[in-house]
Structures are given as C-alpha cells and as structure tokens.
C-alpha cells in the first residue's frame, strides 16, 4: 500500500490465533520453483509447441493443437491476424492478436489478456477460450495443471417404436461406457470426460420398465458422470451415435439373451408397452469387477436433494462405523471396519463439501475410510438405511446456499492508472499485482457461488472516495481491498490483514488465517488501521496486504502467477467462510 495515511494504531488482535498460525507456519517447507504448467483436455495432456506458459498471470498456449481433444477446430489467418474457433456445438469464437476482446457467437467478451503472435502461431488465453466453448475448467495448483472437460447439461428420454431413446446433451465430446448389473437390475451409463451440471440428481421415469434415473459425479480426473437406471427388468443398450450428443437406444432384452454387459440388441421384437412383462427371473449373476470375496463397499455416491447433500456408502452387509472430525483442512473421517473398497473414489459434490474420498485405509484387518472435506463446515448427521447396509452422511446445505446467495462481495484492487501504488525492490508495481490478485479472487469466489463486484477491473485510476461508493451502489455486503505493502526497511516481509470496526474482525481473522496458512511467508497477523476505505465502509471490510514489495523475497514471489493464485484462493476461502456463516443484511 502506498499513498495512504499511516495507521493510527497497529495492534495484534487475537493473540491465540497468531500463535496457532506461527506453529502452523513452522511446518511449511521452503517454496520450490514452480513446475511448468500443463493443460489436460478430456483426459489428454495437450502437447503444444511452444508449451503452455504463464504470461502476466494468464495461462497462454498456441491455438494450434489445443482444441482437438475438445472436438473444436480453428483457423488462423496471419494476414488479418484473426482466428476463428468452431466449438463442437457450433459456438463460434473470433480472436484477434493484440485485441483484448473476443467475439463469442457475435457478442463481445473481454479476455484477461489479448492473444499474441509468437513465431507463426497465435497464443491464446487458455481458460477463457475453453470457458467460451462451454467447458468445465479448473486450475489445480498442486498439480500445476489446468483441467478441461466437457459438461453434461441434461439427459433427454424419449419413447421410440423399438424402446426408449436416451440422449446426452453435452458441451463437448464424452465417451460412453455401459454396464448391466443385476439383483436388482440396473443399467450403469458412465459418461467419461464429463462433469455433471445436471441439477436434479434423481427422477422417477416409469417408462419401459425404467423406474428411476440417478445422476452423480462419480469421479474426477478423469471426470466421470455416472447415470444409473433402476430397472424392473434387464434392458439391452446400444450406443447409437457419439459426441457431443451421444444417443443410447434401450430395448427390452430378448428372453433368450442372457449375455453380459453392453450386448448390442438385434431387437426385432416390437416394443409393446411402457412396462413390458419381466422375463423369467434371470440366474443370479455376480456384480462385475468383484475384487475380493470378502465384505466390501459396493458404491459411494452423492445424491443432491433440495438443501441437502447425501453422501451414500453402500455395503454388501450392515456397516459398522466411527466418525471423527479433524482440522486443517476441516474434514470428517468415517472409518468402516471389516470391509474392503475395491475402487478408490473421489467425488466433488459442490456446495459446502469440497471433496469426498473413499479408499482402503488399512488391510488385515480391513478398514475402509471415507473422508468428507469441508469447503465450509456444515451441519451434518450420519444415519443408516436398509438394515444398516447403507451409511449416509446427510449434509445440510440450505443455510450456506441462502447466506451466499444473499451476499455480494466487493473486490477493490488498490491504486490503478496514474497511481502506481508501491514500487518493488526491483521494480514490480503494486497496481499491477493487486489487479491480478483481485481478478483471480473474483474467479475463485465465483467458483464457490459467491457473487462479486469489482471497483476496477482494468488499469484505471479510481479515486479513494469512490471505491466504497461504487461497492455500495451495487449493494455490496462485504468489502475486500487488495494491496501489497511497502516500507523503508527492506527486511520486513509477510502478509497482514487490516480491519477497523468490530463487525469486520471475524472476516479479517478468517482471511488472515487462510493467508497465513497457505502463503508460506511470515504471518504478520490481523491489525487495525484507519484506512479510508475501511472507515467509509458500512459493511464488514478488510484490507489485505499480500506481501511486501520492498522485500526482495516477497517481491520475487509476488511476480509469480502461482503465488498470486494462492493468495487469491486463500482470501476467497476466508471470505467464503464468512459469507456462509454470517447472514447478509436484509435489503
Ligand atoms: Zn497499496
């Protein structure tokens, strides 16, 4: 922060908290040089020449060779310096080198940075382009990888003369894998390289003996959306066409046919009624992929209901269990003794649950472990169903959803335009760093369904007096100002969060806690200061100093996209926790 009044008073507020953070920091290893980034599209690592790289905090890659795994194609015309991208569903994106605006289906859309020519190739902002094509995009800092996958938008069931037609409506290519299971009869349709955006997780169908259709994100990396059809009797299935809108034809199984999974049906038998007579009970057949003969977990699935998430663990016998709560990260550990997990699973239910992992914790004796990692710690209960064969963690989602829905977070990147803010030890400029962190913070909050407004999103000068006013006009309920600090003493480094009024203390505490935990630079704690934006703000407000530009080590970190991303995500976690716990004021 530069060009501001010195704080009236600086005081370490929650002493206990600061101690906790010091201890936590002691375990943080020295930061290594970040690995080069990679891009994985629908399960394939794209190998472009030159490879993907960060420029000014934005991930760039050559257009050539980037889009094929997503079923898109492009044309680059060096004379007009224009590229045309054709998405798998007909979306048309026009990009021009040096132009920060793209045209997406005829509409102008700002990009985080302009495409640029390198050699004979056009380098494009990767995240923006895939998002424009409707893809699921997620940057995994721990893997230094941008994951891109198709999204499943809906399933359409339609009766046909021969049976039932199931169409998958996806934004890009998905692979279809089918498995028939018996006792009870089910058809499992796995959509590989697909992230489910289907809101309704369960519907009653009642056509062609299909009683129920359940949809869940079965696993990630590769992303698999699992559709389970609960059947009155076995059906034959044929995948009639593929990407981006695969069609499956379902037909009653001919009584003579008792073959295994996914046998194509030569079905000559006309479809007679919506509920055909069940064939004589088929001989009992074992579940496929049986690992061991011992007791085991058959399935871990996520079911969404209004206001609730049900994490369902299905065993082949009554399950015993023990539940513990653990911190850092906040999580719930459910140990199930005496059973085996044949397949390791990772599910992303969204909402208050960051991730659910199921794996074998130990063998001999067997203990299966289910970990429910919180995005935001929520009310839950553990219940058993079906005589104890089903163990269900029921997570209350509603209060979180309502609180987040009501909040609007103002993001205020300091300085801008003619006001550069602080200048770093080797010349890094505060206004540039904090704008980038602010834009990343916006992305991070959006991923957590938190609405935002920015006081500036480009390199423009905004008067200090206008910043809070801009936020309040938009109806902001939380104000977060992002700065990088400066001092005449170059040895001082670290991250600190300022607040002024008591109603901002909780927000400041949680934001600083996350920053202290994840940045690996000294935690200088929560402090008070009479900054104008904090004084002006009628809503909870904090000012974050993400490091000291005047310290060469902090400055070197602040130059890296990885550090900026970590800072943005840490602030976002703190803010998300606050908006989930503290209801928004009624308008
Ligand atoms: Zn500043």
Q: Are residues 468 and 364 in the same domain?
A: no
To the query of whether residue 545 is one of the catalytic residues in this protein, the response is yes
CA 573 to chain centre: 13
**Strand stretches in 285-352, DSSP E:** 297-305, 308-315, 322-326, 331-337, 345-347
pLDDT at 560: 94
Whether residue 281 has pLDDT greater than 70: no
The mean pLDDT of 123-127, rounded to a whole number, is 94
Q: Is the pLDDT of residue 278 over 60?
A: no
pLDDT at residue 410 greater than cutoff 70: yes
157 and 222 in a single domain? The answer is yes
Which of 297, 293, 425, 435 lies closest to 361 in space, CA to CA? 297
Helices (H), 380-531: 398-406, 430-447, 464-473, 505-519
pLDDT at residue number 242? 63
Same domain, 116 and 248: no
Question: Which pTM was predicted?
Answer: 0.44
Is 172 found in the same domain as 315? no
**Which pLDDT does position 255 carry in this prediction?**
52
Distances (CA, A) of 451 to 55, 109, 191, 434: 27, 19, 31, 19
Cα 390 to averaged position of ligand 1 atoms, centre (Å): 54
CA gap 153, 197 in Å, rounded:
5
Q: Which of 143, 164, 188 is the last residue of a domain?
A: 143
Query: What values do phi and psi take at 384, rounded to 5?
Result: -115, 150
Neighbours of 131 (CB within 10 A): 15
Separation between Cα atoms, residue 355 and residue 373, nearest integer Å: 5
Q: Which residue has the higher pLDDT, 211 or 292?
A: 211
Residue 268 scores a pLDDT above 50: no
pLDDT band at 6 (very low <50, low <70, confident <90, very high): very low
Which of 125, 143, 161 marks a domain boundary? 143
446: domain CATH number?
3.40.630.40
Which tokens sit at 518? 């994840």
Eight-state DSSP code of residue 142: T
Q: How far is CA 405 from CA 4, 153, 400, 554, 580, in A?
A: 34, 22, 8, 36, 9
Residue 389 falls within a domain, yes or no?
Answer: yes
154 and 120, same structural domain?
no
pLDDT of 22 reads 39
What's the pLDDT at 185?
Answer: 87
Mean pLDDT of 132-150: 88
Q: Quick one: pLDDT at residue 351?
A: 75
Q: In terms of residue numbers, what domain contains 202? A: 150-252
Q: pLDDT tens for residues 34-64?
A: 678 999 999 999 999 999 998 877 899 999 9
pLDDT score at 244: 67
Q: Are residues 138 and 177 in the same domain?
A: no
Query: Do residue 159 and residue 129 come from a single domain?
Result: no
On the 0-12 / 13-18 / 19+ scale of CB atoms within 10 A, 520 is middle
Is the Cβ–Cβ distance between 336 and 371 less than 8 Å? no
The CATH code of the domain that includes 43 is 3.30.457.10
Query: Which stretches does DSSP call E strand in 162-246?
Result: 163-170, 175-181, 186-192, 194-196, 202-207, 210-219, 224-231, 235-241
Contact assessment for residue 533 and residue 478, using Cβ atoms and an 8 Å cutoff: no
Same domain for 233 and 366, yes or no, is no
Region of residue 532 (left: phi > 0; alpha: psi -120 to 50; beta: else): alpha
Average pLDDT over residues 179-191: 88
In the predicted model, is pLDDT for residue 411 greater than 70? yes
Q: Are residues 120 and 181 in the same domain?
A: no
Mean pLDDT, range 279-305, rounded to an integer: 58
Q: What is the mean pLDDT of residues 530-544?
A: 95
Which string of b and e fits 206-245 if b means at least 16 CB within 10 Å?
eebbbbebbbbbbbbeebbbbbbbbbbbbbbbbbeeebbb
Q: Is position 366 within any domain?
A: yes
Question: What does the pLDDT look like over 555-565, one tens digit per residue?
Answer: 999 999 999 99
Looking at the structure, tell me whether residues 537 and 439 fall in a common domain: yes
Does the residue 169 lie in any domain?
yes
- Which range among 61-75, 224-238, 323-337, 455-469 shows the weakest confidence by mean pLDDT? 323-337
Supply the pLDDT for residue 61: 96
Token duo for residue 540: 């909870």
473 or 5, which is more confident?
473
- 69 lies in some domain: yes
CB 193 within 8 A of CB 223: yes
**Is pLDDT above 80 for 274?**
no
To 10 degrees, what angle do helices 430-447 and 561-581 make?
Answer: 50
In a domain, residue 285? The reply is no
Going from the Cα of 7 to the center of ligand 1, the distance in angstroms, rounded, reads: 13
The highest-confidence range among 26-40, 143-157, 230-244, 401-415, by mean pLDDT, is: 143-157
Whole-number Cα distances in Å, 472 to 403, 442, 454, 469, 542: 18, 17, 11, 5, 15
> Which of the pair, 188 or 362, is modelled with greater confidence?
188
**Which residue out of 397, 513, 514, 545 is catalytically annotated?**
545
Q: What is the CATH number of the domain that holds 231?
A: 2.60.40.3500
pLDDT at residue 534 tops 90: yes
The pairing of beta strand 331-337 with beta strand 367-374: antiparallel
Reference 205, options 150, 158, 240; nearest CA is 158
User: Could you tell me which of 249, 251, 280 has the C-alpha nearest to residue 268?
Assistant: 251
What confidence score (pLDDT) does residue 387 get?
83
C-alpha distances in Å from residue 524, one per residue of 205, 441, 483, 490, 572:
58, 21, 15, 15, 19
The H-or-E segment that residue 115 falls in is: none
Query: CA 387 → CA 107, 293, 383, distances in Å?
Result: 56, 21, 11
Which of 9-18, 195-204, 239-248, 494-503 has the lowest average pLDDT?
9-18
In terms of Cα–Cα distance, which of 499, 508, 483, 447 is closest to 558? 483
- In this prediction, residue 493 has a pLDDT band, given cuts at 50, 70 and 90, of very high
Distance 418 CA to ligand 1 centre (A): 13
Spatial distance between the Cα atoms of 37 and 561, rounded to a whole number of angstroms: 11
Q: Ligand 1 centroid to 343 CA: how many Å?
A: 50
Which sign does the torsion angle of CA 532, 534, 535, 539 carry?
Answer: positive
Domain termination residue (choose one: 396, 413, 438): 396
Mean pLDDT of the chain: 82
Over residues 16-24, the mean pLDDT reads 38
Give residue 405's pLDDT.
58
Q: What angle do CA 576, 414, 491 make, to 5 degrees?
A: 95
- pLDDT mean over 334-345: 88
Closest to 127 in 3D by CA, of 67, 193, 68, 60? 60
- Residue 8 forms part of a structural domain: no
472 and 564 assigned to the same domain: yes
> According to the model, what pLDDT value does residue 586 have?
66
Q: Is the pLDDT of residue 258 over 90?
A: no
Measured between alpha carbons, how far is 162 from 212 in angstroms, rounded to an integer?
20
Q: Which is more confidently placed, 285 or 127? A: 127
In a domain, residue 279? The reply is no
Tell whether 470 and 570 lie within a shared domain: yes
> How far does residue 421's CA lie from ligand 1's centre (Å)?
5
In a domain, 53, yes or no: yes
Nearest-5° Cα angle at 414, 412 to 419: 140
Q: In this predicted structure, what is the pLDDT of residue 530?
A: 93
- Gap from CA of 400 to ligand 1 centroid (Å): 32
Query: Residue 357 pLDDT > 90, yes or no?
Result: yes
Angle at 101 between CA 96 and CA 104, to 5 degrees: 90
Give the span between the Cα atoms of 522 and 168, in whole angstroms. 50
Question: Which token pair is 326?
Answer: 């653990």
The rounded Å distance from CA 115 to ligand 1 centre is 29
Q: How remote is the CA of residue 414 from the centroid of ligand 1, in Å?
A: 5
Helix (H) or strand (E) holding 15: helix 15-26
Count up the domains in the chain and report the number.
4
């Amino acid at each position: 922060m530069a060009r501001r009044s010195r704080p009236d008073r600086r005081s370490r507020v929650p002493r206990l908290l600061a101690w906790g953070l010091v201890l936590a920091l002691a375990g943080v290893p020295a930061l290594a040089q970040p690995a080069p980034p990679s891009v994985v599209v629908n399960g394939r690592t794209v190998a472009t020449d030159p490879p993907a790289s960060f420029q000014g905090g934005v991930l760039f890659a050559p257009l050539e060779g980037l889009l094929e795994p997503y079923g898109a194609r492009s044309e680059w015309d060096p004379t007009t310096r224009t590229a045309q991208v054709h998405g798998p569903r007909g979306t048309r994106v026009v990009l021009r080198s040096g132009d920060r605006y793209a045209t997406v289906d005829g509409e102008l859309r700002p990009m985080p940075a302009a495409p640029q020519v390198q050699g004979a190739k056009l380098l494009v902002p990767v995240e923006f382009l895939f998002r424009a094509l409707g893809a699921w995009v997620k940057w995994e800092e721990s893997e230094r990888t941008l994951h891109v996958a198709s999204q499943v938008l809906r399933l359409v069931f339609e009766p046909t003369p021969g049976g039932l037609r199931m169409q998958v409506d996806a934004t890009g290519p998905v692979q279809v894998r089918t498995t028939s299971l018996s006792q009870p009869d089910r058809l499992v349709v796995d959509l590989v390289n697909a992230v489910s955006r289907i809101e309704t997780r369960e519907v009653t169908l009642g056509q062609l003996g299909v009683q129920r259709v359940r949809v869940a994100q079965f696993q990630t990396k590769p992303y698999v959306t699992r559709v389970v059809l609960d059947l009155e009797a076995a059906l034959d299935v044929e995948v009639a066409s593929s990407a981006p809108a695969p069609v499956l034809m379902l037909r009653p199984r001919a009584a003579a046919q008792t073959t295994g999974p996914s046998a194509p049906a030569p079905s000559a038998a006309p479809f007679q009624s919506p509920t055909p007579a069940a064939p004589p009970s088929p001989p009992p057949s074992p579940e496929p992929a049986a690992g061991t003969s011992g007791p085991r977990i058959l399935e871990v699935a996520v079911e969404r209901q209004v206001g609730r998430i049900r994490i369902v663990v299905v065993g082949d016998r009554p399950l015993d269990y023990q539940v513990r709560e653990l911190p850092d990260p906040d999580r719930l550990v459910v140990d199930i003794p005496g059973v085996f997990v044949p397949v390791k699973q990772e599910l992303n239910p969204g909402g208050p649950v960051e991730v659910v992992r199921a794996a074998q914790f130990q063998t001999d004796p067997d203990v299966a472990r289910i970990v429910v990692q919180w995005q935001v710690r929520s009310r839950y209960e553990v219940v058993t169903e079906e005589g104890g064969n089903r163990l269900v963690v029921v997570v209350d989602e509603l209060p979180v959803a309502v609180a987040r829905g009501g909040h609007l977070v103002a993001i205020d990147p300091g300085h801008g335009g003619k006001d550069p803010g602080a200048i770093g030890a080797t010349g890094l400029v505060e206004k540039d760093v904090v704008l980038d962190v602010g834009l990343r913070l916006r992305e991070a909050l959006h991923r957590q369904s938190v609405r935002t407004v920015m006081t500036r999103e480009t390199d423009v000068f905004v008067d200090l007096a206008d910043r809070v006013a801009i936020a309040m006009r938009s109806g902001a309920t939380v104000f977060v100002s992002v700065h990088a600090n400066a001092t005449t003493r170059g040895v001082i480094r670290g991250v600190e969060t300022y607040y002024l009024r008591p109603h901002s203390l909780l927000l400041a505490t949680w934001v600083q806690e996350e920053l202290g935990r994840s940045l690996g630079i000294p935690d200088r704690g929560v402090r008070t200061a009479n900054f104008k934006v904090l004084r002006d703000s009628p809503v909870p407000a904090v000012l974050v100093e993400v490091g000291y530009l005047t310290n060469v080590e902090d400055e070197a970190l602040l130059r890296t996209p990885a550090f900026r991303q970590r800072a943005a995500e840490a602030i976002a976690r703190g803010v998300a926790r606050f908006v989930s716990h503290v209801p928004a004021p009624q308008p």
